[in-house]
Amino acid sequence: MKILKALASLKVFFAAVSIAAAALAYETLIQKDFFSGHSSFFYFSVFLLLANISSCLALRLSRKPWPKISFVLIHSGVIICIFGFIMSSFYGFEGEIFLYKGQESNMVSNSDAVYKIPFRIRLENFYIEYYNQPSPYIVLEDGSRLEAVPSSVIRKAGLDCRVEEFLNDFVLNESGKALNRSSFFNNPAVKIGCKKAGKKESAWIFANLSSHNGNSLPFKLIIENADIKDYKSVISILYRGSQQKAEVSVNSPAKFNGYKIYQTSYEPSAGESSVLTVKKDNWLWLVFLGFFVLAAGVIGWIL
């Protein structure tokens, strides 16, 4: 009982909270990196806090009058959350998988190793949705602009130029020919041919490069309305001879056999490809239960 009272004291609470806050502040300010949760001071403070809150709750429930329901919910919620976090961090699993369109794999990787998941994922399609149709424009030195479409003509300041070609995702193939890698506006480029003093000069101008691209043409390429609304992967999940199709987008992961597949990112330089994350966490329900109990507690406390 004495130990319980000592553990339940506010002094222990203040000590645990101070150590936790100091450890967190140190990791972010001094280490200047994402806090990796590897600080032993922080772990110690979490266990101290867990012991403190549990003891406090046990002590209060063993005495009459019983505490208010909001008190019980708030403190229980924190305890459940901490348990959930601990179980989740030990037993949860996640790994990333990079797929080109048409490629399939069952290997995912994280910072520790490469893992084999019990099903295969095939990327059937990847697409980027824009809010509006992106519009390319060539901007001249005087600020005027015109649409960057083939056959657009620029006749200003002694220049006689014509837009020869526009590619929304420029890439050079093995023989040095310029191609469109994908239908997305990842690396927009426009080829402009100019006649000056009888000489013809052609050059590519890239939207993603801020300088004049090392050539003498005084133009810039800008893309308007290129705000991305969403990016999605259409995948097939192959498991024991069966095939299940799913669509994965940001904020909308796919679910399969206790696993979740997230649209994490995409690689603009890799064309039609997708970066997915596969995750399994059997203790997520405990964390969410803690959240629910804690939220109910604080709302009950304020009402």
Partner 1 sequence: MDIMINAALFFSLLALSSYVYAYILKKERVFLISSLLLLFSWLLSAAHTAIFSFKAGRLPLSNQYESVLLLTQFILMISLYVYFFRELKPAFILPAAVLAPALFSLLNLLDPAVRPLMPALRSNWLFFHVFTAMLAYSFFAIAGLRGLFYFVKKEIEKEDYCIKLVKAGFVMLTIAIITGAIWAENAWNRYWSWDPKETWSLICWLYYAALLHMKRTGFSAKTFYMSLFIGLLIVVFTYFGVNYLLSGLHSYA
Interaction site with partner 1 (CB under 8 A): 10, 13-14, 17-18, 20-21, 24-25, 27-29, 32, 34-37, 85, 94, 131, 227-231, 249-253, 260, 262, 264, 277, 279, 284, 287-288, 291, 294-295, 298-299, 301-302
Compare residues 204 and 262 and give the one whose CB is closer to partner 1.
262
Spatial CA neighbour of 45 closest among 58, 26, 32, 60: 26
Measured CA angle at 246 (ends 238, 269), to 5 deg: 90
CB 249 to partner 1: min, Å = 7
Compare residues 10 and 153 and give the one whose CB is closer to partner 1.
10
Compare residues 24 and 270 and give the one whose CB is closer to partner 1.
24
CB 18 to partner 1: min, Å = 8
Compare residues 20 and 138 and give the one whose CB is closer to partner 1.
20
- In degrees and rounded to multiples of 5, residue 128 shows phi and psi of -110, 130
CB 128 to partner 1: min, Å = 9
Using DSSP, how many helices (H) and how many strands (E) does the chain show?
Answer: 5, 17
CB 190 to partner 1: min, Å = 25
CB 34 to partner 1: min, Å = 5
CB 163 to partner 1: min, Å = 28
Q: How does DSSP assign 221-271, residue by residue? A: EEEES--EEEEEEEEEEEETTEEEEEEEETTB-EEETTEEEEEEE--GGGS
Compare residues 16 and 154 and give the one whose CB is closer to partner 1.
16
CB 251 to partner 1: min, Å = 5
Nearest 10 degrees: Cα torsion 180, 136, 129, 244 = -10
CB 232 to partner 1: min, Å = 9
Strand spans (E) along 168-240 = 170-172, 178-180, 189-196, 199-206, 220-224, 228-239
d(CA 295, CA 275): 34
Terminal Cα-to-Cα distance of the chain (whole angstroms)? 34
d(CA 188, CA 202): 17
Classify residue 50 by burial, with Cβ atoms within 10 Å: 0-12, 13-18, 19+.
Answer: middle
d(CA 17, CA 6): 16
Compare residues 58 and 250 and give the one whose CB is closer to partner 1.
250
Compare residues 43 and 291 and give the one whose CB is closer to partner 1.
291
3 state DSSP class of 51: helix
Compare residues 6 and 25 and give the one whose CB is closer to partner 1.
25
